[in-house]
């Protein structure tokens, strides 16, 4: 299992009239978690794109438990609990400063060849970085 955490502070523009984080912004928080998890492995989305690899989201499941509010410091924990083959699944949990779970998500991405658009297997650059966590 591979795990990484990062933090983000809720900005005023991310909240709705009730003072809660607008539900659509959680997908952006999940992306921050994914990008930073991949970066912590020594890769970046830019590296992958330069290798001709695209990673579109194909499924997103979210559970809203409690609202996040303006100026909350959120911890985004991102876990990969299965070595990817054709899809990579990120399990995300967002907590506030009181360590209360606010949101959980499961985000599934596939790998596509940028030139042909065809789905491909997990690139070796990712598999090699993750293998030690699944021995």
- Where exactly are the structural domains of the chain? 2-134
Residues taking part in catalysis: 16
- Domain 2-134, CATH among 3.90.1010.10, 3.20.20.220, 3.10.129.10, 3.30.420.80: 3.10.129.10
- 10 Å CB burial of residue 24 (0-12, 13-18, 19+) is exposed
Q: What is the pLDDT of residues 87-118, one digit of tens each?
A: 999 999 999 999 999 999 999 999 999 999 99
Give the separation between CA 89 and CA 77, rounded to whole angstroms: 13
Helix (H, G, I), strand (E, B) or coil at 116: coil
Model confidence, pTM = 0.93
pLDDT band for position 135 (cuts 50, 70, 90):
confident
CB count, 10 Å around CB of 76?
24
């Amino acid at each position: 299992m591979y795990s990484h955490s990062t933090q983000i502070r809720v900005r005023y523009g991310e909240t709705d009239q009730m003072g809660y984080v607008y539900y659509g912004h959680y997908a952006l928080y999940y992306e921050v978690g994914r990008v930073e998890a991949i970066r912590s492995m020594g890769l970046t989305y830019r590296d992958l794109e330069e290798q001709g690899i695209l990673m579109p989201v194909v499924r997103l499941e979210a559970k809203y438990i409690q609202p996040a509010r303006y100026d909350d410091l959120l911890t985004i924990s991102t876990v990969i609990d299965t070595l990817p083959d054709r899809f990579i699944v990120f399990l995300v949990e967002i907590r506030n400063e009181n360590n209360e779970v606010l949101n959980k998500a499961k985000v599934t991405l596939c790998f596509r060849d940028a030139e042909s658009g065809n789905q491909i297997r997990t690139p070796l650059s990712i598999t090699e970085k993750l293998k030690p966590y699944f021995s």
